[in-house]
A and B are shown apart, each in its own frame.
Chain A
């Protein structure tokens, strides 16, 4: 529609979906159909196959629930289930107790350093659990642990290989998301709701417990759910800590069923149990969230006030929050980096014991450069695909394309499916022609796309949501076609948000472990699986150097994200 047709233009503004533009319409429909197919292949089909695999004979593919029933009768399986549940619940509870007050202090008080702490929490969110587990083995592990001796001096006869070690490190790896959802909700509260409480006699404590906290309950619940799922997903921590501690977990059990001889039925039954736990948790959390979410009442509202806390409390709070980010990222990662320069472990950090040999040796090991290159390639391809699909999905939902709401919901499922479970779905779905992808690099890229698509969607949706629909309508009203409007108006305005989504998608895919561990083949090793292998083989020097390299790449991505979006990434991903 390039001719200035006044009548046509005004029609566009009124009902932009009913435009009669045959060519554009067909290609638009085609893109939408392709998006639906992508979600079906990447999400719906593999997830459905997990259930089918559990109740069928793995070699013939016909119904056979005998193995399934036998596995469900196994007490070892239920012990692993119980352990997994307790581990994830305890880590989430610990994370909530730390993250909620921290979010309030950073968002609502005059605590010093609150901006720095907020952005360090985001680094915690991006940092892979494997590195954290590895660092804590360095610090509190038997024999090699820097501080294990101190623990024993204090009379604590324990190492990181214990329940407390597992729960503590898992909480460190998963609490950031609770901080993020809570602080984003706190930032969104209409300040007048709090002002009204103060004008009607509420003191500081009464204000927090009777007004502020009840209003952020849904956000805390949704953060806790995500943290619960992240705890299930922290395969690096589980492999490095729970296995030596002889704590059987569903995830580590599933992994062990994949060593020779492969026991598909047992693995898939446990996968089904794990997915049922996750979905039940999501269902419960969503019921609670729905019951406690109140429609915001119209009004322009005001920005909430910063609470002035007493000077001593300010510094005490700062120390506590620094402690939390210190323990969950700064200290462990510093230990990893420092140790990567140590020649002989256990001889301290003296000048004669420092060298760069760990790094030079590292790249002489055949696996490392190949794995890094693979992770880089797969990560970049997955990120590109994710952003494209996320863009299509959010765009068509905004345009209210038929079925878009449903497809959107399906695409969000992998958020609550642990990576190792998703991997089993991919094995079941893609190991036979016409889609015999098992052992190829494609299956890794596809599983990354499936697993992190929800994150890409959230950041893309946020970027699109910030563009008022009247900007789009104005383009239509001035004769631009849908394609032109998308390319010339929406895309330029979303550039920053899309780059953020792409960098985040990349780094999560780059560091992915829990799905990769089941899907790698010879030649498709990735960085995280090689690192896990080194740590299990006890190659300490190389392991630290490799971990430091991965942390370096994570830190660079983090710096790019913070540069692009600042602390607002916190609110973007979690609404």
Chain B
């Protein structure tokens, strides 16, 4: 049965030192039967969080529930083997001394499942991942992609309430990665198992998940459905993480949502009115405007098009980046912005350009720390809880 996971005030400290890694005061509910991604850069605490769920680590504080069962807290600790879960490891961790069949049958044998049933279930699962032909091989005789599917079958055969996946696609080459990504998504939908998937690749996260938890320095920056995280990032950092590093402009917002920057000539230049403004700027204040690279258009200075705003700059460097040219543009001061232009457009270093974008594909956040980090727990939206309520209704 697909289980939801409730993480309640969980902290894991590795040592007393301030920046020794770990996770801090994590409060989140991972919806049952959905595909949830833990997204973050290395050192963000995503793997720590996954290992806490698996039971390889014990929380320093807080409580974790799997379904309605308390699995880890100060008073209580259920070891990994007694938790209703399975895990796919980054290194696959296939036991090299066992055949494919024995690898997949391992968990069932641990549960003392009758022989007949083991045979049936292992074969069914192997055919689900398309490996029934290879069941007598040893892991070392398989390709990377096949090993990955054995690791997946070994976990799926247990029909666990929760499946943890630790960057399972990172050891595959690009083509196979995309192919396996589609298979993983399809398997999750078909089995209805709760998937918790760790990755640092935001593109992968968007392709796979229903729900996303963005972590940074051991704390949750934002969590919610994918579309929402992309279209309504709650902080500068999340916005930056969701897209390729784009335009950042420091300026000020007035109470009428008008964003202005200091003009080169001195004084203020009003840029325009923006629809996506962080709540914390309700009364205006120092603000940063963020636009993703993919939403920027490079134009010759003076070009105007309807519904577009533009910021002037000077081309610093250009480079060929496969399907497009990557152009670094310096705007006033120290800021440089990376934009992408079609290959046929040639921009030369030193040329003046303007970067144009639609106001609706940009966000305004408070400048500085408040905009970069997560805000207090009071302002967390209650999206996750609503989702759980929905899924428990539909599954019962």
Contact = CB atoms under 8 A, between A and B. Distances in A.
B119 interface: no
Select the residue from B97, B107, B171 with max chain A CB neighbours within 10 A: B97
Given A295-B140, A297-B91, A297-B140, A202 B106 contact: yes
Interface stretch (B81-89, B272-280, B375-383): B81-89
Contacts, number: 96
B277 to A, nearest CB: 43
Contact of B107 (A190, A200, A296, A300): A200
Nearest to A199: B87
A468 to B, nearest CB: 21
B140 A200 contact: no
A193 B139 CA distance: 13
Interface in A192-215: 192-193, 195-203, 206, 210-211, 214-215
A292 B95 CA distance: 12
Nearest to A201: B110
A399 interface: no
Interface in B177-235: none
B92 to A, nearest CB: 6
A425 B86 CA distance: 60
Nearest to B47: A302
Given A199-B85, A300-B90, A295 B96 contact: yes
B138 interface: yes
A200 B90 contact: no
B160 to A, nearest CB: 9
Nearest to A214: B97
B155 interface: yes
A350 interface: no
Select the residue from B54, B90, B93 with max chain A CB neighbours within 10 A: B93
Contact of A195 (B80, B144, B147, B154): B80
Contact of B91 (A190, A200, A211): A190
B55 interface: yes
Contacts of A296: 96
Contact of A198 (B79, B95, B144): B79
Contact of A294 (B93, B97, B110): B97
Interface residues of A, number: 27
B111 interface: yes
A68 to B, nearest CB: 44
Interface residues of B, number: 32
Interface in A178-234: 190, 192-193, 195-203, 206, 210-211, 214-215
A483 B318 CA distance: 45
B171 A199 contact: no
A214 to B, nearest CB: 5
Given A215-B97, A294-B96, A297-B140, A198 B81 contact: yes
Contacts of B96: 193, 215, 294-297
A305 B79 CA distance: 13
Interface string B91-112: 1111111000000001100110
Contacts of B111: 201
A301 interface: yes
A200 to B, nearest CB: 4
A295 B97 CA distance: 9
Contact of A200 (B79, B92, B155): B155
B132 to A, nearest CB: 20
A300 B170 CA distance: 11
Given A198-B55, A200-B158, A299 B80 contact: no
Contacts of A196: 87, 89, 93-95, 154
B118 interface: no
Contacts of B106: 197, 200-202, 210
B316 to A, nearest CB: 30
B14 interface: no
A421 to B, nearest CB: 36
Given A195-B54, A201-B110, A297 B92 contact: yes
A454 B97 CA distance: 29
A199 B94 CA distance: 12
B138 A299 contact: no
B164 interface: yes
B320 interface: no
B344 to A, nearest CB: 36
B89 A192 contact: yes
B94 A297 contact: yes
A202 B81 contact: yes
A298 interface: yes
B97 to A, nearest CB: 5
Contact of B93 (A202, A292, A299, A305): A299
Nearest to B56: A195
B89 A298 contact: no
Interface in A297-312: 297-301, 305
A144 B292 CA distance: 90
A297 B80 contact: no
Interface string B131-155: 0000000111000100100000011
A300 B91 contact: yes
A199 B80 contact: yes
Contacts of A211: 95
B110 A192 contact: no
Contacts of B147: 297
A298 B91 contact: yes
B228 to A, nearest CB: 31
Contacts of A301: 91, 93
Contacts of A300: 90-91
Interface string B151-171: 000110010000010000001
Select the residue from A201, A214, A298 with max chain B CB neighbours within 10 A: A201
Given A193-B95, A294-B138, A305 B56 contact: yes
Interface string A337-351: 000000000000000
A292 to B, nearest CB: 7
Nearest to B96: A294
A297 B144 CA distance: 9
B161 to A, nearest CB: 13
B55 A197 contact: no
Contacts of A298: 91, 144, 171
Contacts of A199: 54-55, 80-81, 85-87, 155, 164
A523 to B, nearest CB: 56
A294 to B, nearest CB: 3
Nearest to A298: B171
B110 A297 contact: no
B85 to A, nearest CB: 7
B110 A200 contact: yes
A192 B91 contact: yes
B271 to A, nearest CB: 47
A421 B71 CA distance: 63
Contacts of A297: 91-92, 94, 96, 139-140, 147
A210 B54 CA distance: 20
Interface in A68-106: none
A190 B171 CA distance: 16
Select the residue from A193, A199, A297 with max chain B CB neighbours within 10 A: A199
21 contacts: A195-B56, A195-B80, A196-B87, A196-B89, A196-B154, A198-B55, A198-B56, A199-B87, A200-B158, A201-B110, A202-B81, A203-B81, A206-B110, A211-B95, A214-B97, A215-B97, A294-B97, A295-B96, A297-B140, A299-B93, A300-B91
Closest 8 CB pairs of A and B: A299-B91, A294-B96, A201-B110, A200-B107, A192-B93, A196-B93, A199-B87, A198-B80
Interface of B: 54-56, 79-81, 85-87, 89-97, 106-107, 110-111, 138-140, 144, 147, 154-155, 158, 164, 171
Given A199-B54, A199-B86, 18 more contacts: A190-B91, A195-B54, A196-B154, A198-B56, A198-B81, A199-B81, A199-B85, A200-B87, A201-B81, A202-B106, A203-B81, A211-B95, A214-B97, A294-B140, A295-B140, A297-B91, A298-B144, A299-B92
Interface of A: 190, 192-193, 195-203, 206, 210-211, 214-215, 292, 294-301, 305
